[in-house]
Structure 1
Amino acid sequence: MHAIRTITWLTFREAWRRRMVLAALVLGLLFLLLFGIGFSLINSNMREHGTSALQLRFSYNLLMVAGLYVVHFLTVMLAIFASVDTIAGEIASHTIQAIVTKPVGRWQVVLGKWCGYAAMLMLYLALLSGGIVGTVYLLVGYLPPNPAAVLLLLLEALVLLSLSLLGGIYFSTLTNGVVLFMLYGVAFIGAWVEQIGALMQSHAAVNIGIITSLLMPVEALWRRAAYLMQPTVLNSMPSPFGGTSPPSQAMVLYAAGYAALALGLALLSFRQRDL
């Protein structure tokens, strides 16, 4: 366990020393500032025009979930960009050999790196999602239904992190990144196909969306989180913030198993990888 803790700490420090991660943090803080200013101005304008209390609550919820959608996208990008080079790059530069020749198991190297990046993503997501929800609460005293649903955004980051480490064992950095982005793109399009198919009562379109969610469950986790954090009336139309075909709790369990399986395969595959 000491070796895993050491690699976790070193990975965490390395990740935060990268300018890419620093840039993501700075831009995230800038986004929170702009969100707070924009939300305050919109709220003042609505109150000046005599918007009803019910409409105000719907507007608050819509703006907050829209902000969380940006957080979802930033977390997805950071999960990919921060970890895509961690195995593939070290294999290509042969720096990984300096680690695996020490009395440290290969599986400990992979698990330590996974824990380091997972801690970084958890803190990043806590800062941004907590900033969005906290800003809305401080300004207008509104909390969404099921605010704990933001934890699903952490699960989607862990899915991508596990896939990134697994792909890095077999692919180059560039190929690994392309594969991850393509899978995410397929899931994104499939989610819209499923929502529109549910609205048009097309079972074939819904099934296509389900298949893409099984292939890459990240977008399904976001739709589940957005669905739980919105009133029912706001989930009646297809949009990035809800949907007419919300993923079930079974999809959350599937995504957790998906991440665990990808991590397990990464641990096993790296032991057998010829370095």
Structure 2
Amino acid sequence: MNVYVIARLTFMEASRRKILLAALILGLVFLLIFGLGFYFMINDLRKYREGIVIINTVSNFLLMAGLYVVNFLTSIMTVLTSVDTLSGEISSGTVHTIVSKPVRRWEVVIGKWLGFVVMISLYLLLMAGGVIGSIYAITGYLPPNPFLGIVFMWLNALLLLSISMWGGTFLSTLANGVLVFGLYGLAFLGGWIEQLGAFFQEPARSTALNLGVLTSLLMPSEALWRRAAHELSSPLTSAFGFSPFSSSIYPSMLMVVYAVLYLLVIVFLALRKFQQRDL
């Protein structure tokens, strides 16, 4: 019961923040521009005899571009709304009003985590559904595995949320933000190095691939996006081989399992650290 109350209060508090409002406004503006641009582009392609093939190819490529932006917006919104949820309340002393009541510390962490999970899930469904829905409404095209793709994007957001919660148990808000964005940037860089490595000759190829795998083990967020891109890409789009939206090199399901275990361990560490911290 305490977990539910804290989750509900966290969701209500997060929904009132200007950061979330800004993310919603930017997201809706993006969906409007994306839908209009896609409509006029497809309308121009309908005059070609091979229109259906071209339209499906363009639809998948633009869908991947749109979802790439959605993944980035969701990641940024997740970090900015959650980065001070524990560290800010600890530094201001607000947390004392909660833990002094008959509420266990693990209930505080799990309740806040669940509150943000609901908010992130709704935002991702709105944005990803808006991109996929716009394309389907205009062309009738659907990507190969939309459910799996969105699930992997969702796991990516939960991973960033969990790291933000963990960092908030022992770091200041600023340091926590540096930690989360630093890891996110490291994973992004490692993913690009791994993709570029596929075009190199040995031994540079093996070195680049190993660096990419190492960064994915340290922070599997980019690996989750590339797996999502693999599930959502058509064979022809994947054949391009190198772009932010698709790749000929994609993580196996074993890496996805590792990312889920990584997420669970981070949540456990957050619970343990908050339990042991002297407030």
- Per the shorter chain, which TM-score range? over 0.9
Superposed, 1:95-174 pairs within 5 Å as 95-148=94-147, 149-174=149-174
Structure 1 counterpart of 2:242, one-letter code: P
TM superposition shift of 1:48: 3.2
Alpha-carbon distance between aligned partners in 2 of 1:140 and 1:214, rounded to the nearest angstrom: 39
Unaligned 5+ residue runs, structure 2? none
The separation in 1 between residues aligned to 2:40 and 2:54, in whole angstroms, is 16
* Deviation, structure 1 residue 233: 2.9
Q: How many Å separate the matches in 2 of 1:152 and 1:139?
A: 26
Look up the SS of the partner of 2:249 in the other structure: coil
Aligned-partner Cα distance in 2 for 1:249–1:114: 25
Following TM superposition, the consecutive aligned residue runs of length 4 or more in structure 1 with deviations greater than 3 angstroms are 48-52
**How far off its partner does 1:151 sit?**
1.1
The residue that corresponds to 1:215 in the other structure is 218
Distance 1:29 1:155 in 2: 22
CA contact (8 A) 1:224 1:246 kept: yes
Instruction: Report if the CA contact (8 A) 1:83-1:161 is conserved.
Output: yes
Q: Look up the match of 1:225.
A: 228
Instruction: After TM superposition, give the deviation of residue 244 of structure 1 in Å.
Output: 2.2
Instruction: Supply the distance in 2 between the matched residues of 1:56 and 1:50 (Cα, whole angstroms).
Output: 11
Q: Distance in 2 between matches of 1:194 and 1:14?
A: 40
- How far, CA to CA, are the matches of 2:273 and 2:60 in structure 1? 44
1:62 & 1:11 partners in 2: Cα distance? 37
Supply the AA of the counterpart residue of 2:220.
Answer: P
Q: Could you tell which deviates more after superposition, 31-40 or 44-53?
A: 44-53
Task: Work out the CA distance in 2 between the residues paired with 1:7 and 1:125.
Answer: 22
In the TM superposition, what are the counterparts of 1:175-214 in structure 2 within 5 Å? 175-201=175-201, 202-214=205-217
- Tell me the amino acid that sits aligned with residue 185 of structure 2: G
Counterpart of 1:238 in structure 2: which amino acid? F
> Which of residues 251, 254, 265 in structure 2 aligns to 1:250?
254
- Would the aligned equivalents of 1:199 and 1:238 in 2 still touch at CA under 8 Å? no
What is the distance in 1 between the residues matched to 2:244 and 2:254? 20
* Cα distance between partner residues in 1 of 2:67 and 2:189: 19
Give how far 1:145 is off. Answer: 0.5
Residue 270 of structure 1: aligned partner: 274
TM-score, reference length from structure 1: 0.97
Question: Is there any run of 5+ residues in structure 1 with no aligned partner, and where?
Answer: none
Equivalent pairs, count: 274
CA-to-partner distance for each residue in 1:141-173, whole Å, 9 max, x for gaps? 000001111111110010011100100111100
Q: Tell me the alpha carbon deviations over residues 217-271 of structure 1, each in whole angstroms, 9 at most, x when there is no partner.
A: 1111111111111122322321111112111111111111111110011011101
2:11 maps to 1:4: no
**Cα root mean square deviation, aligned:** 1.0
Per-residue deviation, residues 67-116 of structure 1 (Å, max 9, x unmatched)? 00000000110111010000000011010011000000000000000000
Q: Secondary structure at the match of 1:244?
A: coil
Match status 1:19 vs 2:18: yes
State the identity as a percent: 49
Separation in 2, partners of 1:249, 1:220? 10
Instruction: Tell me how far apart the structure 1 counterparts of residues 19 and 161 of structure 2 sit (CA, whole Å).
Output: 16
Work out whether residues 57 and 236 of structure 2, in 8 Å CA contact, stay in contact via their aligned partners in 1: no
Q: What are the Cα deviations for residues 47-69 of structure 1, in whole angstroms up to 9, with x where unaligned?
A: 23555321221100001111000
